């Protein structure tokens, strides 16, 4: 029989040395280094223990033993081993550097700095001691000194790639973009074909907002080296938001050139989820299968778990979501690493009072990190204007053909020009559409900065000397809520685009109304600022985009009653699907219709069918309307819309009512749980809003039995909405500007400059 160890020459050599009572020091050191390179740390550590017992005065053996113990996270033992190496040779610079690294791991940053400084004295021309001293200085907040040490390291060794990378990163973290750009260019001049530095350059261009330059840089690299997997990956990842179809092509190529690269696979997962062209359902199924493969590896960072969660949420794979981690651990991992956009999908899982409050804490965790960065990189103070009209700013990349733009239009169509100057700020990277052009004509100034950093945007906004700035987008695509952390305006507020606190203490107010305001102050970070009736109103453009509603009941035409939803599946929960299914089961012959592009996904259909089957609803009673953008006409087949919870509908609730379809909703404590409650109350339909799942079911079943009321609503809901506060855009704008004017108060109030 063949000895299996014969296929492992390192293992054979290891056993031979371990079996020798006095192996040669050089042989042990050489094999330990090979095992280290192979990441076989436990075996290498066992060899080092044997070797130092035989050769207690061999400094190099003690040194590599310290390195191996560090890899195994046995940090106190690592310090002891490295101290022994330094006792043998106090001038051993390499052991001193390794000792400093362990001290950094232990967060003993002052001690690490002292150790690295000693290494510099021992080796004044050594680049590595300089760079490591810079690392310790960064940890201690001494950025200027750290940057100088990184510069010195690159001067001493122009091919020291890691030092160049850290220098660019340190300058970037301080928003010193021109210096970072110069350093990046110098690094590539000295190392023109180094892939790590090429990647650093492309990422620098991207994070500094120079998306066009980043795309051109990567395209040029691919022209030179068409099979550069790294360039295909970065170009694909860059294009995901603007052109997911092109992104998918580059990412597939990257994976073909470098199979098994997890970063490439996760980027492809993101692109597949963002594509709306062609067979969207097939792409979602591909993304779901890929997500399951990646989840099985267990090699996830916060960014990766966010992508997995998004892929699972699109197809209602709730068990897969649960397998990624707890509500608290996932949310805090995303918030702590700056992934605030991932908290939007997390909102649907905040289905208990405890989770609702934990969600607030997660947003605040993100906000603390951003505000700490803003505190390190303040913008220049701007004198406060004490005369003239009130200057009010609106900041959102969605001031275009987008639900946010359409609901914000009344404020631009009915500006209180006697008392206000209005400014608008957008970071939209697409072409201006008619709604954006219309808003630009209405305001005193429209600033569109598609390629800009958050700090620079804050600096420019501050120069407009606003009395108040309102952020409308939250962490959604192309929006920059972090701009508010630099406090570019005296008073700052959040409204409309994101149904939760952003997490920034620099945002002072949260605009809502008496019907959707949270029931407890600990469910908001900001102070609520209440509109008297509704927090939104329908614009003329929104109304014009809605087709005419049919006045007959779908039930009469089709022979059975149909419940349905057009809400995004990221708002769905297992409990929500079960409740919908129980409602359907309670109404003989009733169907449920999903009006979503996800309805084309086999995984979505199977998961939904399984959830409904648990409540006794067979698959033939579920209808699939596969649509994107043309969903409103599908309401002609819907009798009653059932709302999502705990994250309720907003735009979808308004649209359903405009199409003559009543909406049954379940309200909770938090703002995001009360959006439909406000809409229904302002429309005079408070009785369609429940406080418990049992009441929700009773209301839905009762409405299904009341054909007369449903017929009356079908014929009157649009007119009813237009006659309500939701339809009075002029009064809404008047109330809004009056509320702002009262809130701002005297123009001489001090502006916080931080």
Angle at 152 between CA 146 and CA 156, to 5 degrees: 145
Rounded mean pLDDT, 723-734: 97
Three-class DSSP category at 503: coil
pLDDT in tens, 284-296: 999 999 999 999 9
Q: Is the pLDDT of residue 487 over 50?
A: yes
* CA–CA dist 516, 30 (Å, integer): 69
Instruction: Provide the pLDDT for residue 277.
Output: 86
Rounded mean pLDDT, 339-353: 95
Residue 747 pLDDT class (50, 70, 90 cuts): low
* CA–CA dist 648, 674 (Å, integer): 7
Residues paired with 564 in a beta bridge: 593, 641
> How many residues can be counted in the chain?
754
68 closest CA partner among 54, 85, 55 = 85
CA 24 to chain centre: 55
| Helix residue spans in 208-279 (DSSP H) | 211-224, 229-239, 244-257, 262-274
Average pLDDT score, the chain: 95
* CA–CA dist 173, 221 (Å, integer): 26
Q: Is the pLDDT of residue 320 over 90?
A: yes
Instruction: Provide the pLDDT for residue 324.
Output: 97
Residue 220 pLDDT class (50, 70, 90 cuts): very high
Q: What is the DSSP string of 397-430?
A: TTSSSSHHHHHHHHHHHT--TTTEEEEEEE---S
CA 359 to chain centre: 14
Lookup: tokens for 629: 């953008």
Contact predicate 231/195, CB 8 Å: no
pLDDT in tens, 275-319: 988 899 999 999 999 999 999 998 899 999 999 999 999 999 999
Whole-angstrom CA distances from 624 to 144, 459, 605 are 60, 49, 8
Instruction: Provide the pLDDT for residue 4.
Output: 41
Instruction: Provide the pLDDT for residue 263.
Output: 94
pLDDT in tens, 653-695: 999 999 999 999 999 999 999 999 999 999 999 999 999 999 9
Contact predicate 265/233, CB 8 Å: no
Token pair 């916080």: residue:
752
Rounded mean pLDDT, 248-262: 95
Please give the biggest Cα pair distance in the chain.
Answer: 97
Name the percent of the chain lying above pLDDT 90. Answer: 93
* CA–CA dist 33, 439 (Å, integer): 65
Instruction: Provide the pLDDT for residue 754.
Output: 39
* CA–CA dist 80, 94 (Å, integer): 15
Q: What is the DSSP string of 373-386?
A: HHHHSPPPP-PPP-
Rounded mean pLDDT, 242-255: 94
List phi, psi (to 5°) of 115: -65, -45
Contact predicate 575/355, CB 8 Å: no
Instruction: Provide the pLDDT for residue 378.
Output: 95
pLDDT in tens, 2-36: 344 457 899 999 999 999 999 999 999 999 999 99
Q: Is the pLDDT of residue 749 over 50?
A: no
pLDDT in tens, 112-158: 999 999 999 999 999 999 999 999 999 999 999 999 999 999 999 99
pLDDT in tens, 597-655: 999 999 999 999 999 999 999 999 999 999 998 899 999 999 999 999 999 999 999 99
Whole-angstrom CA distances from 671 to 102, 493, 521, 535 are 47, 15, 11, 12
Q: Is the pLDDT of residue 407 over 80?
A: yes
- Would you give the DSSP letter of residue 645? S
Lookup: tokens for 220: 């040029």
662 closest CA partner among 590, 613, 710 = 710
Contact predicate 604/637, CB 8 Å: no
**Residues 357, 359, 360, 364: what is their CA dihedral angle, to the nearest 10 degrees?**
140
317 closest CA partner among 578, 572, 663, 32 = 572
Could you give the count of Cα atoms lying within 13 Å of 266 in the half-sphere of its Cβ?
A: 18
Q: Is the pLDDT of residue 249 over 60?
A: yes
Strands 527-530, 509-512: pairing is parallel
Angle at 241 between CA 311 and CA 230, to 5 degrees: 85
Residues paired with 470 in a beta bridge: 394, 493
Q: What is the pTM of this model?
A: 0.88
Whole-angstrom CA distances from 392 to 108, 424, 467, 490 are 48, 9, 6, 10
Instruction: Provide the pLDDT for residue 519.
Output: 97
Instruction: Provide the pLDDT for residue 101.
Output: 96
Rounded mean pLDDT, 191-198: 96
Q: Is 493 exposed, middle or buried (0-12, 13-18, 19+ CB in 10 A)?
A: buried
Instruction: Provide the pLDDT for residue 750.
Output: 38
Q: Is the pLDDT of residue 490 over 50?
A: yes
404 closest CA partner among 138, 59, 654 = 654
- Would you give the DSSP letter of residue 161? H
* CA–CA dist 418, 390 (Å, integer): 10
Q: Is the pLDDT of residue 745 over 90?
A: no
Token pair 């900001």: residue:
526
* CA–CA dist 17, 576 (Å, integer): 63
Q: Is the pLDDT of residue 752 over 80?
A: no
Could you give the count of Cα atoms lying within 13 Å of 58 in the half-sphere of its Cβ?
A: 21
Whole-angstrom CA distances from 391 to 386, 388, 474, 529 are 11, 9, 22, 18
* CA–CA dist 269, 248 (Å, integer): 9
Q: Could you tell me the sign of the dihedral formed by the alpha carbons of 161, 162, 166, 167, in that order?
A: negative
């Amino acid at each position: 029989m063949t000895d299996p160890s014969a296929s492992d020459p390192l293992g054979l050599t290891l056993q031979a040395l371990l079996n020798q009572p006095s192996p040669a020091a050089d042989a042990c050191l050489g094999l330990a280094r090979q095992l280290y390179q192979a990441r076989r740390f436990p075996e290498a550590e066992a060899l080092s223990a044997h070797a130092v017992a035989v050769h207690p005065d061999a400094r190099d053996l003690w040194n590599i033993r310290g390195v191996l113990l560090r890899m195994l996270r046995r940090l106190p033992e690592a310090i002891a081993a490295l101290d022994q190496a330094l006792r043998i040779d106090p001038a051993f610079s390499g052991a001193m550097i390794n000792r400093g690294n362990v001290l950094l791991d232990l967060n003993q940053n002052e001690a690490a700095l002292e150790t690295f400084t000693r290494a510099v004295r021992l080796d004044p021309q050594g680049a590595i001691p300089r760079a490591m001293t810079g690392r310790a200085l960064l940890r201690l907040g001494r950025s200027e000194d750290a940057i100088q040490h990184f510069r010195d390291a690159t001067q001493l060794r122009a091919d020291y790639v890691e030092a160049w990378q850290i220098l660019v990163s340190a300058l970037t973290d301080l928003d010193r973009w021109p210096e970072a750009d110069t350093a990046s260019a110098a690094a590539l001049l000295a190392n023109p074909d180094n892939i790590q530095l090429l990647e650093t350059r492309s990422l620098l261009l991207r994070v500094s907002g120079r998306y066009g330059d980043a795309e051109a840089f990567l395209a040029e690299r691919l022209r030179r080296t068409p099979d550069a997997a790294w360039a295909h990956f970065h170009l694909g990842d860059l294009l995901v938001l603007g052109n997911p179809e092109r992104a998918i092509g580059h990412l597939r190529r990257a994976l073909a050139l470098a199979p098994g690269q997890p970063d490439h696979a996760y980027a492809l997962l993101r692109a597949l989820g963002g594509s709306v062209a062609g067979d969207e359902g097939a792409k979602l199924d591909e993304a779901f299968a890929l997500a399951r493969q990646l989840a099985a590896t267990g090699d996830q960072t916060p960014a990766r778990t966010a992508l997995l969660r998004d892929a699972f949420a699109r197809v209602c794979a709730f068990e897969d979501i649960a397998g990624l981690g707890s509500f608290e651990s996932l949310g805090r991992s995303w918030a702590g690493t700056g992934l605030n956009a991932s908290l939007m999908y997390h909102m649907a899982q905040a289905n208990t009072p405890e989770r609702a409050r934990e969600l607030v804490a997660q947003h605040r965790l993100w906000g603390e990190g951003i505000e700490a960065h803003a505190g390190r990189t303040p913008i220049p103070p701007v004198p406060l204007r004490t005369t003239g009209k009130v200057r009010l700013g609106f900041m959102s990349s969605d001031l275009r053909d987008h639900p946010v733009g359409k609901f914000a239009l009344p404020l631009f169509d009915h500006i209180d020009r006697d008392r206000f100057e209005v400014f608008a700020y957008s970071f939209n990277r697409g072409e201006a559409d008619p709604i954006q052009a219309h808003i630009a004509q209405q305001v005193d100034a429209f600033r569109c900065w598609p390629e800009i950093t958050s700090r620079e945007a804050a600096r420019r906004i501050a120069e407009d000397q606003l009395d108040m700035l309102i952020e409308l987008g939250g962490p959604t695509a192309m929006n920059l809520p972090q701009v508010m952390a630099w406090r570019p305006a005296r008073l700052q507020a959040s409204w409309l685009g994101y149904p939760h606190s952003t997490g920034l203490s620099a945002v002072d107010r949260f605009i809502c109304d008496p019907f959707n305001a949270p029931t407890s102050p600990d469910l908001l970070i900001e102070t609520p600022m209440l509109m008297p009736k509704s927090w939104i109103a329908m614009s003329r453009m929104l109304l014009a985009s809605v087709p005419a509603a049919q006045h007959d009941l779908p039930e009469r035409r089709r022979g059975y009653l149909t419940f349905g939803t057009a809400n995004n599946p990221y708002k769905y929960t297992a409990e929500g699907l079960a409740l919908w299914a129980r409602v359907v089961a309670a109404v003989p012959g009733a169907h449920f219709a999903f009006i979503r592009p996800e309805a084309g996904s086999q995984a979505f259909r199977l998961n939904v069918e399984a959830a409904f089957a648990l409540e006794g609803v067979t698959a033939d009673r579920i209808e699939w309307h596969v649509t994107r953008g043309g969903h409103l006409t599908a309401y002609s087949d819907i009798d009653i819309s059932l709302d999502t919870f705990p994250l309720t509908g907003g735009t979808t609730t308004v649209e359903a009512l405009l199409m003559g379809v009543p909406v049954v909703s379940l309200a909770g404590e938090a703002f995001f749980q009360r959006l439909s409650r406000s809409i229904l109350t302002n429309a005079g339909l408070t009785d369609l809003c429940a406080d418990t799942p049992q009441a929700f079911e009773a209301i839905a079943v009762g409405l299904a039995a009341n054909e007369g009321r449903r017929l009356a609503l079908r014929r009157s809901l649009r007119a009813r909405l237009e006659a309500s506060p939701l339809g009075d855009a002029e009064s809404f704008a008047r109330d809004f500007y009056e509320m702002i004017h009262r809130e701002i108060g005297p123009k001489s109030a001090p502006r916080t400059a931080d």
